[in-house]
């Protein structure tokens, strides 16, 4: 019967080793999930940290672009005014040339 006691312990060791491998696999899965959650938490923290800064820079850049657009619009209005003034002078010159120089009659 001494041999049968050893035979019973052998399956226990195999079952114990199999259970240990299963626990190790579960432990690895849990650790992997925890690492994923930590990375996600870090990402959320970084987003909260940098989002206001990025938004501020975008608004500042947008403001710069809008100021440049206002400056360009003002320049276009000045060019339109100058073009209109030139057109008025050209129209006056065309009118004067159409009339022609005064006729001088020499007697």
Q: 73 pLDDT exceeds 90?
A: yes
Q: Distances from the Cα of 20 to the Cαs of 12, 16, 24, 26, in angstroms?
A: 12, 6, 6, 10
Residue 29 to residue 23: CA distance in whole angstroms: 10
Tell me the domain boundaries of the chain: 36-98
- What DSSP string runs through 74-101? HHHHHHHHHHHHHHHHHHHHHHHHHH-S
pLDDT 10s digits, 14-30: 556 666 677 778 888 88
Q: Give the pLDDT of residue 23.
A: 72
Which band of pLDDT confidence, cut at 50, 70 and 90, is reported for residue 95?
confident
Min mean pLDDT across 55-59, 74-78, 95-99 is at: 95-99
pTM for this structure?
A: 0.42
């Amino acid at each position: 019967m001494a041999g049968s006691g050893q035979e019973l312990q052998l399956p226990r060791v195999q079952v114990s080793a199999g259970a240990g491998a299963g626990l190790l696999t579960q432990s690895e899965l849990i650790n992997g999930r925890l690492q994923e959650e930590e990375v996600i938490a870090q990402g959320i923290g970084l987003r909260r940290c940098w989002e206001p800064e990025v938004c501020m820079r975008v608004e500042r850049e947008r403001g710069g672009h809008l100021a440049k657009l206002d400056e360009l619009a003002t320049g276009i209005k000045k060019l339109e005014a100058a073009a209109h003034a030139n057109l008025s002078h050209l129209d006056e010159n065309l009118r004067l040339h159409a009339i022609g120089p005064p006729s001088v009659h020499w007697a």
